[in-house]
Structure 1
């Protein structure tokens, strides 16, 4: 077992071994150019082919129609938090509405409030961000510019169920920590976006999938780099893009298509990983507390605690002796967090389960 696959960090996360091998070669020299990927021009024909392939692979994996534009940007989700209201919360509509379901949705709301008026459609703060609402049951103004939510709260380990039918207003989702972990119905979304360092590759690139009719409402006068139309029109090459990060993302999209066998197969793997880990934690009973209430437990991020900071730290230290790293909980809630992103193998999860069981028996 290589140590990379025992990385349970909330991000940057593990990368598939086959992708790492190809990346190592490309850093020295790309097989088809003889030039290191780190020195490859963003204006080269080679990079244009990479952008084209990355988009084609995403379209194939998601089943995207031509109604959607795909663009690769910089700035992470944090930039998207400000760009989205700049571009889409125009005066022709009522204020956009936001679901406050945890740490990252709070960040999105804070940035949006600096740009435009906005409304909180639902807030889970009073319940400690342990549960989620039914999006279809929310009282949303039919003239709202859009409804924004975070599909998977990385910090608290909460994940929304799949959207099954169209919302009455444009739906925008930050899918940073569960994008490409399972199939979705893209036709139900006006925009999906995700930064790379969970399931897509190293930090540096953010994928934005935007319905073309939403792009039509962008007002004139925005700074060019903050206008989504700029990036779509220039084919994700308006300014120097993160060539290396986009290259690795392309390798991962190949891995998903041709090694894993698509998102349905990836979902099956992820379901098995999370089910086994949650079953183990539940077996430990009162010795462990899982942050999320049962119906909303995330398949990607399992946030839990032994109920004592010293025990949490002791398990982190003991797990590290087994080569298991990245279990520290987010600073906002502490405790432990095991992130089960796509490249974390089932064998790695079994190693974690063995370590948890051994640790608990020692203290029984």
Structure 2
């Protein structure tokens, strides 16, 4: 039985994509092999990777002055890769902290000899808010400013893109990439782990502006050097072939459903439906400021926290899985990425109503 998987990642993938992959698993493109078995140097896979990149460029509106890279190590690897590629020891590097993932990126960057500077920190709200638009001021001459547009653990999301002037803006877009249109030209680097909206875990997609490609430190590992990976079409080493293949399938799925405009409409509706129910209930609550609520990750609490484990267990029995909140914050969390249908959100609300009826 397929369940509605509300995990923050690895997350639910479109059933249609999984069925296509299943049908091709033993014989891909008449090669007599699985895509997971063919050489990454074969003409079939080289064409597959090129197709995936072209679809991503088309769907996201990525201009010719950006390179698209497929890099192993996920988003956490990019916490180290970004300072290695964009700074040298002693450089000032700015961070905006709105939750745990931005804080992890900040701590990782400090290992590389930079002057990691926090220019905005929402700790005073217990990371339930984002900085007011226009309040973020990069340090003059900073190598870059890093922020996390969506914090999966706290369910906190920016409603705007910070203006940073001449300072390159770096975004960990793992949780929101492909969920709505964005203006890629506003960024210096976008990176995203693939396990939310782009496929299985293990790969990061990196979108880097051309003028930033030559800043890498001499001791940057070759497979994490943006320039070297760009020059080799992400195939300096054996790439994560199955992840690239599945990303291509997911991009075709997105394109067939109205592209990012179609995703935006569906995701907005799902989030509004769930938040509206939570806000109207005296039994459940959401701790995040209204202007900072995530479309992708919706945490909610009950007044009686002793019911949390029972809620999660009974929801799982009803086919609604992975609703436990992150261990650091507790409560519940529903991650409703692109692949989660409206029917899944509706089923969750129906369950929440019945649980409230019984336990209120």
TM range (shorter): over 0.9
Q: 2:243 is matched with which residue: 214, 220, 245?
A: 245
Q: How far did residue 290 of structure 1 move? A: 1.0
Sort the Cα spacing of 1:268 and 1:83 in 2 relative to 1 into closer, same or farther, 3 A. same
Q: 1:120-135 to 2 correspondence within 5 Å? A: 120-134=118-132
Match of 1:278 in 2: 275
Deviates more, 1:165-174 or 1:180-189: 165-174
Give deviations 1:282-340, integer Å, cap 9, x for gaps.
1112x222131111010000011113332111111111121110101111111110000
Q: Secondary structure at the match of 2:321?
A: coil
Residue 124 (structure 1) shift: 1.5
Question: What CA distance in whole angstroms lies between the structure 1 residues aligned with 2:298 and 2:166?
Answer: 32
Correspondence 1:1-364 to 2 at 5 A = 3-4=2-3, 6-90=4-88, 94-115=91-112, 116-134=114-132, 136-163=134-161, 167-258=165-256, 260-285=257-282, 287-364=283-360
- Contact persistence 1:157–1:291 (CA under 8 A): no
**Distance in 2, Cα, partners of 1:172 & 1:345:** 30
Query: Partners of 2:71 and 2:207 in 1: how far apart?
Result: 11
- Aligned 8 A contact 1:303 1:329 in 2: yes
Shift of 1:182: 0.3
- Measured after TM superposition, the shift of residue 65 of structure 1 is 0.8
Rounded to whole Å, the distance in 2 between the matches of 1:94 and 1:134 is 27
Deviation at 1:77, TM superposition (A): 0.9
Give the deviation of 1:347 after TM superposition.
Answer: 0.7
Structure 2 SS opposite 1:292: coil
If the length of structure 1 is used for normalisation, what is the TM-score?
0.95
Count of residue correspondences? 359
- What is the rounded CA distance, in whole Å, between the counterparts of 1:167 and 1:265 in structure 2? 31
Contact persistence 2:28–2:35 (CA under 8 A): yes
- 1:38 deviation in Å? 2.1
Structure 1 vs Structure 2 CA RMSD: 1.5
Q: Structure 2 stretches of 5 or more lacking a match?
A: none
Residues 133, 162 of structure 2: 8 Å contact kept? no
CA distance, structure 1, for counterparts of residue 51 and residue 326 of structure 2: 35
Task: Report how far residue 50 of structure 1 moved.
Answer: 1.2
Is the Cα–Cα contact under 8 Å of residues 74 and 204 in structure 2 kept in the other structure? yes
Distance in 2 of aligned mates of 1:139 and 1:66: 29
Q: Please identify, of 76-85 and 133-142, the stretch whose mean Cα deviation from structure 2 is larger.
A: 133-142
